[in-house]
Chain A
Amino acid sequence: MKIMLVDDSRTMRNIWKKVLGKMNETEITEAEDGAKGLLAVEEHGPFDLILLDWNMPNMDGITMLKKVRGKNISTPVIMVTTEAEKPRIIEALKAGASNYMVKPFTPDALQSKIKETMKKASALA
């Protein structure tokens, strides 16, 4: 499964990698802001899943999401938010996110959220 992680914190990406590493056969690409993420989608896509953080320099999560959807790319996107940003989740969904994840999350929670999202995505395909 080709997964892209978009988050400006290297440590954060490391944590995710650690969790995802426990899942089978994952190939992980990283991007440290929305602009680089967009570039990665164009050059290394298509991906099977994108994990997207909200607050980033150069281009934040929601902007990148809108642009990706604007290019008619329907890759499932899980938006990662903090507890305080929960009320804005509906905004992310309207912008095209497939699902959302509130951090901090347990590895189990992340895994099941990913499974759930992928299942839905394949059902729609």
Chain B
Amino acid sequence: MTKPRSIIDSVIKDITMEQLLEQIEKTVSRFVGVEADDLAGLADLHSQLEVVRDQAGQSSSLAANQREIVHTASLEAGNLIEKIILQEVDDVVETLRIVGQTCESLHTLLEQISQGDSEAVVEFPAELKISQGDEKPESTQTVPEKPKISLPENVDEAIFREFLSSLPDVLTNLESAILAAEKDTNQENRNTIAGILHNLKGETGLMGLQEISGFCHETESLLIGAGSSFPAEKLFAAKDWLHDAMNQLSTGEVDSESAGTDNQIETADELHSQNEDIAIAENDIPLITDFINESNEHLESAEEGILGIEENPEDTETVNSIFRAFHTIKGVAGFLNLKPLGELAHATENLLDLARKGNLTLAGVIIDVVFESIDAMKHMLVILQQAMDEHQLFQAPDQSLLIERIKMCASGEIPTPRLGEQLIEQGVTDRSTVKDALREQNNESPDKKLGEILVEKKCVDPGQVKQALQNQSNQAKTTAQKTNKKIVNESTIKITTSRLDSLINMVGELMVTQSMVGQDLVNYLDTNERLERNSRQLNKITRDLQELSMSMRMVPVQGTFQKMARLIRDLSRKAGKEIEFKMEGADTELDRNVVEYVADPLVHMVRNSIDHGVESPQQREEAGKPRTGQIKLSAFHQGGNIVIEIADDGKGLDRERILRKAIKNGVVKEGQELSDQEVYRLIFHAGLSTAEKVTDISGRGVGMDVVRKNIETLRGRVDIDSTPGQGTVFSIRLPLTMAVIEGQIVTIANEKYIIPLLAVERSLRPTPEQMSSIYGGKAETIMIHGDLLPLIRLYKLFNIEPRATDPCEGLVVIVADGENRCCLLVDDLADQQQVVIKSLGSYLGSIQGVSGGAIMGDGNVSLILDIPGLIKLAQVSNATPALAS
């Protein structure tokens, strides 16, 4: 993967063919002198191949695909050499032979190119899996059906967890890159994909995830070997494979991390059986005595060091020395078989390693944990000394909980923001730059600090890094003040949604109770200033608490929208159409539960747009439209709700056809007057499908019905806007949360009812002229701005004696559900307020016109009106006079 370099670099350092040849000849001659056990010689050969690789990447004398080949060949040969050095190959002689062969082939290739043969093709050893030209290699690139991943054994848990949490982003980027390259198969797009695969290969390789690493390698080769064609399908399949693999890894993870406390006990038990009593050999006593003394010295100086660090988090020398203290203890403990000491030292060493690399600031909670570790070590040394003195077995106390805490700090689960995050938050740099820098740090310059690397790459300036570090330690200090000592059970961020739901429920109850108390207090507030102040404070805190708990469940729609990208691509291909996908407002946030429910309707509507909305390229051309159709998903907030729109520029809804189908299915009566909107909304009716043929993706009429049901469950609504020939827009309007609604309280006699504010249009007192009745007085309507709206007398429905039976003396509230409207007769309007929705319970069953109950501030229960239900009721009674109440 070519490193990004400045323009100036590439201009100055263009490598000529001569130079390349010289270099490869040098490499070949180096190889000749090398033997399998000649480490120095092998290392030198490795360097030469690196030079070949770099030079080839910078040479304009090579065509793009030739560069790829040289790159891959030299890279692979280098990797093989590394394996030989690390004694990771079975047949050294054979591997060396392959390396030699590769060098020869590279030489021949470059020679031929320099002699003018620009189409030169040379054979490389099969093991390298290089192919050239346009041949698509058949056998080696079959994508295995399902990944079978074995979890790595020796890998550090903190590192593994961090890697795992970064994977989803990596895979999303991969998919986007493949999509982009499909549109434009230029070299840059291809390189992006290759780069992602290459990095992933390296990371997984380091972690012992050989299956994944190998798979990335094959996929990378597939891409490079495909020459000028672009194997999109196979790449997508590869991405899916990786996704599966990731899930396997995550579940493996989750299993071992199940419910907090249980797992703690498990681990503790495990460790206990591992913390076996250790017998101390006579011979080892002098060594162990030395070890105890030296370790104590190290721990003392570490403690002193840490005390100074809080003021000077950037004192690298001190951080280094603290790191070394634990590093040494770990090393020696390994030799002396003092496992418990070794484990604690290892965990702490890792944490400190992160700190000295600049990825973590030693402050607040982290410092606490290091202190704890120092204390625990000292304690263990004391016990060790005792055991030695008394010729007893060494029984180390269980440190598993402390080690857990240390690992959590290392993996960033305790919220001390890392340097990279800081800089991103401040807008000084972006995530991908930080990721690149981190990768560079891991792969090439582990001794450099993250801040240094970023400054070197000119992505940030030193002042910003310093500021961020300062912020970091400040924040860490405040976090330390907030965080409890018992970190283990409370600081994990992963919790079950049911628990979160319970919390939110309780906060809701709190709100209600608080407002009840508030009501009771009203009488005392005038005379007691302090009480009033406290009551106001209580009010505010409760409201803040509610907002906070709501926000915990908020999730951006981005994820759901992103899934649509892939879906649209697949479906449009199947349907033989060209469709471009646009997103807007993907960072708009929704309650998590809502997001889940909204996904299915979105899918259905997108399918609908692709199948029936957007025309085929040919039809579009004939209609004078661009061949590529467009589907746009947008999300935004509007008046306390969230709106999600799906817009396409297709042929729009066919009013006549829908109407005809509806009449045929008996949903609508012949001759009924329906507005455009009303007709469009008919598509949500079950059994109504106007597709000519039922395709396997939609057209059965089931989809749209599900959409309607889901949206209703969410207490939202769907509006449709369509212009024939131009396109259709579906607008889904949803309340921001499912547990609480904004309600308009209305009174009928002494009873209070709640109308969801979402549905309220306006209220008025009608004049006698506006009133009229049809069907011989059986159904009533009110004329409002030229529209005849049906009227429902709520008191009749609920069987109570109202203050006013004459609408002209009461109040009429106009409510809407999409395009349908009706009027509700009430006595008066009261407040608007948020109410917590409680379902009525199965005892009462479902009541017509009522969707739930709410507990009011005065402790009474009010019914929440079911507007869609009432509107339907009004229509029915109008359409079929026999049923009019």
A: residues with CB less than 8 A from B are: 8-12, 14-15, 18, 55-57, 82-84, 86-90, 93-94, 96-100, 103-104, 116, 120
The answer to whether B328 and A90 touch across the interface, beta carbons within 8 angstroms, is no
Ranked 3 nearest A-B pairs via Cβ:
A93-B43, A9-B328, A104-B334
The answer to whether B85 and A103 touch across the interface, beta carbons within 8 angstroms, is no
The answer to whether A12 and B43 touch across the interface, beta carbons within 8 angstroms, is no
Min CB–CB distance B256 → chain A (angstroms): 22
Assess whether B332 is interfacial by the CB under 8 Å rule: yes
A-B contact pairs, 9 of them (CB 8 A): A11-B294, A11-B332, A12-B332, A15-B287, A55-B323, A90-B82, A94-B44, A97-B39, A104-B331
A15 to B85, CA, bound (A): 26
Instruction: Produce 1/0 per residue, B298-338, CB < 8 A to A.
Output: 00000000000000000000001101100110011011000
Q: Which residues of A have CB within 8 Å of B287?
A: 11, 14-15, 18
A25 to B361, CA, bound (A): 49
The answer to whether B332 and A98 touch across the interface, beta carbons within 8 angstroms, is no
Min CB–CB distance A104 → chain B (angstroms): 4
A104 to B334, CA, bound (A): 6
Q: Of A12, A14, A90, A94, which contacts B331 at CB under 8 A?
A: A12
- Give the secondary structure class of A's interface: helix
Instruction: Produce 1/0 per residue, B58-95, CB < 8 A to A.
Output: 00000000000000000000000010011000000000
Q: Which residues of B have CB within 8 Å of A82?
A: 331
B: residues with CB less than 8 A from A are: 37-40, 42-44, 46-47, 82, 85-86, 154, 156, 206, 286-287, 290-291, 294-295, 320-321, 323-324, 327-328, 331-332, 334-335, 446
A97 to B291, CA, bound (A): 28
The answer to whether A57 and B291 touch across the interface, beta carbons within 8 angstroms, is no
Q: Which residues of A have CB within 8 Å of B156?
A: 84
Q: Which residues of A have CB within 8 Å of B321?
A: 57
Known: A98-B40, A103-B335. A10 touches B290 (CB 8 A): yes
A97 to B82, CA, bound (A): 15
Q: Of B40, B85, B154, B294, which contacts A9 at CB under 8 A?
A: B294
A40 to B327, CA, bound (A): 24
Q: Of A56, A90, A104, which contacts B85 at CB under 8 A?
A: A90
Min CB–CB distance B153 → chain A (angstroms): 12
A41 to B40, CA, bound (A): 21
Min CB–CB distance A36 → chain B (angstroms): 15
The answer to whether B324 and A14 touch across the interface, beta carbons within 8 angstroms, is no
Q: Of B43, B291, B320, which contacts A11 at CB under 8 A?
A: B291
Known: A83-B154, A89-B86. A103 touches B42 (CB 8 A): no
Q: Which residues of B have CB within 8 Å of A103?
A: 331, 334-335
The answer to whether A98 and B39 touch across the interface, beta carbons within 8 angstroms, is yes
The answer to whether B328 and A12 touch across the interface, beta carbons within 8 angstroms, is yes
CB closest chain-A residue, reference B342:
A104
Interface hub of B37, B291, B335 (most chain A Cβ within 10 A)? B335
Q: Which residues of A have CB within 8 Å of B320?
A: 57
Q: Which residues of B have CB within 8 Å of A87?
A: 82, 206
The answer to whether B332 and A15 touch across the interface, beta carbons within 8 angstroms, is yes
CB closest chain-A residue, reference B289:
A11
Min CB–CB distance A28 → chain B (angstroms): 16
Contacts beyond the supplied A11-B294, A11-B295, A55-B323: 19 A-B pairs with Cβ under 8 Å: A10-B290, A11-B287, A11-B332, A14-B286, A14-B290, A15-B335, A18-B287, A55-B327, A57-B320, A57-B321, A82-B331, A90-B46, A93-B85, A94-B43, A96-B40, A97-B39, A100-B39, A103-B335, A104-B335
Min CB–CB distance B202 → chain A (angstroms): 10
Q: Which residues of A have CB within 8 Å of B334?
A: 103-104
Q: Which residues of B have CB within 8 Å of A9?
A: 294, 328, 331-332
Q: Which residues of B have CB within 8 Å of A120?
A: 37-38
A9 to B336, CA, bound (A): 14
A95 to B97, CA, bound (A): 25
The answer to whether B324 and A55 touch across the interface, beta carbons within 8 angstroms, is yes
A97 to B650, CA, bound (A): 69
The answer to whether B37 and A94 touch across the interface, beta carbons within 8 angstroms, is no
Q: Which residues of A have CB within 8 Å of B294?
A: 9-11
Min CB–CB distance B123 → chain A (angstroms): 28
Min CB–CB distance A114 → chain B (angstroms): 14
CB closest chain-A residue, reference B298:
A9
The answer to whether A11 and B290 touch across the interface, beta carbons within 8 angstroms, is yes
CB closest chain-A residue, reference B290:
A11
The answer to whether B332 and A8 touch across the interface, beta carbons within 8 angstroms, is no
Known: A87-B206, A90-B43, A94-B44. A8 touches B324 (CB 8 A): yes
Min CB–CB distance B278 → chain A (angstroms): 15
